[in-house]
Homo-oligomer: A and B are copies of this chain.
Amino acid sequence: MRIVVLAGGVGGARFTRGLREECIRRWPDGEGGTTAEIDVIVNTADDLWLAGLRLMPDFDSLLYALAGVNDEVRGWGRAGETERVSDELAAWGVGWPWFTLGDLDLGTHIARTSWLRDGRTPTQVAERLQQRWTLGARLHPVTDHEIDTQVLVDDPEAPTGSREMHFQEWWTRHRATMRARSFRQLDIEVSRPAPGVLDTLADADLIMLAPSNPVVSIGPILGVPGVRDAITAASAPVVGVSPIIAGSVVRGMADACLTAIGVATDAAAVARHYGASSHAGLLDAWLVDEADAASTSSLVSAGIRAAAVPLWMHDVDTSAAIAGHAIDIATG
């Protein structure tokens, strides 16, 4: 069984951990692992240069979660983290005071930046980072090009009434409180999928959209030229998991992103945004939460198999159950 997941950061990481657990249960290899192959195509559009270092937040969230070294309480970063270096950087006036760089996390950033400066590609760096732990999945940055997201936000004090800032400034510093007008991934139109991404999609038995932000996580993955076409051309069924439950985001501020692109913060609206594979869209199937059970019939009418199941990822068991439901509805 070859499964490809399109994923953003924390939501994608929780989903993928659950998927790995579910695969171990369904397709055990007899040695505590699974015969299933899990490839994760990871969003890189919220990557950034900060303090001269290359940060890849979504990639690191997946890496740390699959390695079991993530901070479950905070929901991001490494467990047992400290901020000794970050305090120094603040004293030097380097970086963003509102963007914490943990000491353990900085080890990753320094290693990654060092390898990039040596001429390695993000994909090669990603492979090297994954060698440290047994992850039970392969992580692929969607592209080796830098497609860092800029956000055009309302700003009454700006001459034009709006200004552009890096996605992380809007998301982390302003907690998405300034109204976003649009999102722009720098140079995404001339980017190409990273080596392995298209082949992985072509060879997949199942393609899954994690419950990640449809606009700034899954959206940029689909926006890299060739990725969307590879998904629609693939023989594998495509199943998505709603990141919206009862009209609210599960985590993060996806509502502010959806509003900017004119999509309602609603489980069925997100499915229609992705579209039915039978109507030139992506989805064969879609999971909504039980709270949104009423919307499934309209999705079925639109050509998307839909089911309502519990979608809160409280722990690895509930995440695994969601992954199991997704596998069932896509392949059943």
Asked if residues B107 and A92 are in contact (CB atoms below 8 Å), the reply is yes
A82 at the B interface (CB under 8 A): yes
A164 at the B interface (CB under 8 A): no
A103 at the B interface (CB under 8 A): yes
A36 at the B interface (CB under 8 A): no
A263 at the B interface (CB under 8 A): no
Asked if residues B92 and A106 are in contact (CB atoms below 8 Å), the reply is no
Asked if residues B108 and A88 are in contact (CB atoms below 8 Å), the reply is yes
Partner of A94, one of B88, B91, B93, B114: B114
Q: List chain B residues, Cβ under 8 A from A117.
A: 52
Asked if residues A114 and B51 are in contact (CB atoms below 8 Å), the reply is yes
A174 at the B interface (CB under 8 A): no
- In the complex, A117→B117 CA distance in Å? 11
Q: DSSP majority for the A interface?
A: helix
Asked if residues A107 and B91 are in contact (CB atoms below 8 Å), the reply is yes
- In the complex, A84→B92 CA distance in Å? 19
Chain A positions 60-119 with a Cβ under 8 Å from a chain B Cβ: 82, 84-85, 87-89, 91-95, 103-104, 106-108, 110-111, 113-115, 117-118
A329 at the B interface (CB under 8 A): no
Please encode chain A, from 149 to 167, with 1 for each CB lying within 8 Å of some chain B CB and 0 for all others: 0000000000000000000
With A113-B52, A114-B51, A117-B52 known as contacts, the answer to whether A108 contacts B84 (CB < 8 A) is: no
Q: List chain B residues, Cβ under 8 A from A108.
A: 88, 92
Q: What are 7 A-B pairs at a CB distance below 8 A? A: A53-B114, A82-B84, A85-B110, A88-B106, A89-B107, A94-B111, A110-B110
